[in-house]
Structure 1
Amino acid sequence: MHSPDSGSSSEGLSAGPLPAGITAPSLSAPSQEAAGLLPLIDAAVLDELEDELAGTGLAKRFARDYAAMWDQRYSRLAAAVHSQDSESALDAAISLKISSAMVGGVRLAKLAELLETLIRLGDFGQGKVLMERVAMDGGLTITELQSTYILGTD
């Protein structure tokens, strides 16, 4: 297998020049700190979804399914990042970003967005570091979602 800096990549995902004003280190510490300032869950997102669905309970079911799929979703993402599979990692990061945003997991959605950027830049070294934060905040998000939304209200 090639080293992390070997330059092999999928189409359009190579680690070319960074966008103006962005350096790889700025994507890790300061961005992670900014993400850490976000709440784990924005309950208003699920409340709004429930209102849009006319109180059918589908929003709670979506939240329950999201929580139940966390381990599988995280494992898929972690495996892709650790194996430096750009295509699978990008797909898993985008899926996590979108589903987290839909369930109100704003901090996890932001971390997934940061991870998506690192993957697009081909920086799997920083991606592996960020995965530790994704694991920690992902677990906290699921715990809060279960205790405050899934179990906390009917």
Structure 2
Amino acid sequence: MSSSDFREANVEGVPGAAGGGHFAGLPHGSHVSADPILDLAEFQLLEDQLDNPRIARDFARDFVRLWEARHQTLRTAVEHGDVPAALDAILSLRTSSAMVGGVRLAGLAGQMEEHINNGDLGQARPLLHELAECGESTIQELKESYVLKNSTPEPDPTG
């Protein structure tokens, strides 16, 4: 299965997710903080669509492994005023968050995406801290849920 297959997963109904709603006109913090950190029903959709829970769990494990790099890429792009790089980073973060069931993180990413699309990185910058905290909470809940709790990590090829 190619990585593009993951992008085709249905994320309808996840605020700000690909194919879902959008954030036009919503003020910062609007309804996103009411969303759960993790919605396992969304993750179960991914499992169903891939017809293989192991592949979905591998995707979630990769999400956790790549979190720091994704967030740092976004932070660097925003701080350097690089709108195309910031947009690329936030789209990746929003979509992957929605796919693992991280609805609050996907919602925050949707808000940030709106600011980036408007070329207003000054409005996006304050969301970086909130996004970081929510990302860490999402990772923690993934690790505590059935998604990754009993998951065997991939062996480290470096030793």
The yes-or-no answer on 1:89 pairing with 2:86 is yes
Does residue 150 of structure 1 match 2:113? Answer: no
Higher RCO, Cα 8 Å, sep 6+: 1
1:61 lines up with 2:80 in the alignment: no
TM-score (norm 1): 0.76
Bigger drift between 50-59 and 105-114 goes to: 50-59
Letter in 1 for 2:116: I
Encode CA deviations 1:73-95: one digit per residue, 9 max, x unaligned. Answer: 10000110111100000110111
Q: 1:27 to 1:52 in 2, by over 3 A?
A: same
More helix by share: 1
Q: What residue number does 1:4 align with?
A: none
* 1:74 partnered with 2:84: no
Q: Which has the larger radius of gyration?
A: 1
Q: Partner of 1:118 in structure 2?
A: 115
Partners of 2:51 and 2:92 in 1: how far apart? 26
Structure 2 CA distance for aligned equivalents of residues 79 and 153 of structure 1: 32
Letter in 2 for 1:121: N
* 1:27 maps onto 2:27 in alignment: yes
Does the Cα contact within 8 Å between 1:27 and 1:118 map onto a contact in 2?
Answer: no
How many residues are paired up? 128
Query: Gapped runs of 5+ residues in structure 1?
Result: 1-20
Unaligned stretches of 5+ residues in structure 2:
1-23, 153-159
Deviation at 1:54, TM superposition (A): 3.2
Q: Percent identity?
A: 39
TM-score normalized by the length of structure 2: 0.74
